[in-house]
Amino acid sequence: MAEIVQQRIEDRIPELEQLERVGLFTKKEVKSIIKRATALEYKLHRLIVNKEDFIAYVQYEINILELIKKRRIHWRAMKFLEGESVERFTSRYTLLQTGHL
Q: What type of residue sits at position 16?
A: L
**Is the whole model's pTM more than 0.95, yes or no?**
no
Residue 76 · residue 84 · CB < 8 Å: no
pLDDT in tens, 16-64: 999 898 888 999 999 999 999 999 999 988 888 888 998 999 999 999 9
pLDDT in tens, 66-81: 999 888 877 766 665 5
Q: What type of residue sits at position 70?
A: K
